[in-house]
Every structure is written in structure tokens, then in C-alpha cells.
Amino acid sequence: MAERAAYAAQAEHSRGRRCAEPPPAGRTEFQRDRDRIIHSTAFRRLEYKTQVFVNHEGDLFRTRLTHSLEVAQIGRAIARSLGLDQDLVEAIALAHDLGHTPFGHTGQDALNACMQDHGGFEHNLQSLRVVDKLEERYAEFDGLNLTFETREGILKHCSLPNAKLLGEIGERFLNKQQPTLEAQVADLADAIAYNNHDVDDGLRSGLIELDQLSHVAVFARHLDEVKQRYPQLAGRRVIHETVRRMINTLITDLVAQSTKNIQHAHPHTLDEVRAAPPLIGFSDSIHTEQRELKHFLRTQLYQHYRVNRMSGKARRIIKALFEAFMDDPKLLPPQYQDKVRQDQARTIADYIAGMTDRYAMKEYRRLFSVEEL
């Protein structure tokens, strides 16, 4: 295990919380962030939100909760090898999807379309909004009052107009600076996790076949290795042995290439990390392979007609909910009534974004079905 590097984020030198608090006892500032995220309502809801498959389609598919745990695990392993702060990576990983709407990417696109005339909807920005404003748990502040470093890691992307509205947390997008290496690790751990578990879930669902995947270089290479080593192996173990090798290759490559990048840029402090180009990254050959895999998943899985059918339903549900509440805000539950008078569209977007897949479907039935109350 590497020693903590000089360019790692340091909890004791955090840029702090928006609302000053006494230092935590028995844990670091980043560990406190992680603990607060785990105890939040939005975190528990991740169990019933999905990325590709809708929650009720089967108990074996990843949810946003298991996805976030996988991102945290992969992120910690990378951080450990690079001498970075594992707790910060974990906090960012566990929080990175808190702002996601029901029904995965389709839900987010649909809500963004509904919000076009009201400032739009970006899921990264919404994750930040959840931890800064929407969680209601503490007496002295809204949200979770997380450290600057965790918050900047959560805000992976942000449009320039929104960055201008965000104060210090938006500055790096305007100054073209990088976040901490821990944030960069969490971002790539996210990609490693979803590319691989979507392969696994895609095969499990039967939407993609092993035959098709054998034409994708990164999968074929690792599948051959498994077949050579275990000629008798069949069924799910073949897939699992292949996927775990792919994850391992990616982590190993990421650590090796990032170490080279760091050695080359030679940052001594976090400020030098911020001013450098992104230092966490894959080698060129792995990057190319990953692009091929992503393209495969996009065309064969994410746009599979059965996924498209579900996406179509999801889009209609989100749109119908949004329009019904905009039309008559009195349909909203009582705890939203004060807020909706101050900012109607954003309050409705917050309500819808907070829904789980099944809650959104139930709310749709409650609003539009005469049999249901």
C-alpha cells in the first residue's frame, strides 16, 4: 500500500464546510462526510432506482445503490494503490448518483426537457442540490453540510451558465482547473463499474448474447483467457470470470498509467494537481478498447427495443407527472406547498427527481387512474 502522497487531499486541510462545525472526534472530515451520506434519505432511495433496467424487472440487476457500492469499492482500491485519501473517494462514490431521477438516463432526459424554460435539469447539479439543500436532517443547516472536496467531487460536470451561479464550487469549470485526484478516481471508477456490470446484467437479461460480445476486443481477450485456463467451465461462471478479469485489467492499467502521469507532472501539492491536466486516466490502448465496449453497449443494450419500450413509458410518466403538477400545484403533497409557491417548476423537479422508479409509477396511477386514490 502506498503512503499518503503529498498531492492527496488532506482531511485536516479541507477547505471546509459551508456552515462551520467543530472538528469531528474519532474520524476524519471525509469519514464524517461518508457517514452522513450513508445515513441520508436519498442514499436509501438508490436501492429502488435503476440505470438501465427498471427496478421491478428482476432482483438480480444492479440498482443505483449496488452500483454506488461497486464504484466505492473500485475507487478505494485505486486510491489505496496511488496513496490517495480512500475515504474521500468513498464519500464521492457513494454520493455521486444521489440526484438521479427515477428510470435512469431516460428519466433525466425527460425531466431536463420538461425544465427547458425553467433552468434545465442536470443530474450532477441535482446530486449537489441534494447534499447542499434538500436533505432535511440537521437542526443548524439544510442538507448534509459536506466538505468542499466531497462537494466538488460530486459536481463532476456542470454547464458554464450554472457554474457561474454556484460560487466557489463552480470556479474550476470557469478556470478550467481539475478537481482533486480523489474526484478524478471516483469519476473513472464509475465508468469501470457501469461498463462491466452492464455487460453482466445485459447477458443475464438475455438482451445481449455471448456471441455478440465475442466480437468486442476487451471481452474476447479475457474470455479466451478464461476458456484456456478452464476449458470445462460453463454458464454464468464463464461470464463472471471474464468480467472480473476485465475489471482487474482496468484497475491495474489505470493505476499504472496514472502513476506515470503523476510522475511526469510531478505535483507537490493539491494546488499543482488542480492546475495540471487530468492525471488519472487509462493508457491509450485500454482507452480505445473501452470506447469500443461503450459503443457496443450503447447500440446493442441501451438502445435494445425492449429497453426502448421501457424508456418510452418512463418518458411519458415523467412528462405527465410534471405537467399535472405544473397545471395544478395543489396536487403536490403538503410538505411541498410552501416551497412550490416560491419556485414552482424547481420544486416539482425536486419532487419528481427524488422519486424511486416504483414511487413514480404509483404516483402516476394515483393521478391518472380512476380506480386508485
Question: Could you list the residues that contact Mg ion (CB under 5 A)?
Answer: 97, 190
Which set of grid coordinates corresponds to residue 238?
A: 464463464
- Indicate the residue type of 95: A
- Indicate the residue type of 333: P
Which residue minimizes CB distance to Mg ion?
Answer: 190
Q: Which C-beta is closer to Mg ion: that of 97 or that of 135? A: 97
Least distance in angstroms from the C-beta of 230 to Mg ion: 32
CA dihedral 326, 103, 76, 220 (to 10 degrees): -150
Q: Which C-beta is closer to Mg ion: that of 132 or that of 190? A: 190
Q: Helices 64-82 & 236-265, crossing angle to 10 degrees?
A: 40
Q: Which C-beta is closer to Mg ion: that of 190 or that of 363? A: 190
Least distance in angstroms from the C-beta of 191 to Mg ion: 8
Least distance in angstroms from the C-beta of 163 to Mg ion: 21
Could you tell me if residue 119 is left (phi over 0), alpha (psi between -120 and 50 degrees) or otherwise beta? left
- Indicate the residue type of 302: Y
Q: Which C-beta is closer to Mg ion: that of 109 or that of 190? A: 190
Least distance in angstroms from the C-beta of 105 to Mg ion: 11
Least distance in angstroms from the C-beta of 96 to Mg ion: 5
Q: Which C-beta is closer to Mg ion: that of 190 or that of 201? A: 190
Q: Which C-beta is closer to Mg ion: that of 229 or that of 298? A: 298
- Indicate the residue type of 271: D
Least distance in angstroms from the C-beta of 45 to Mg ion: 15
* Cα 42 from Cα 299, distance rounded (Å): 31
CA dihedral 314, 317, 320, 323 (to 10 degrees): -70
Tell me which residue of 99, 301, 73, 278 sits closest to 190, measured CA to CA. 73
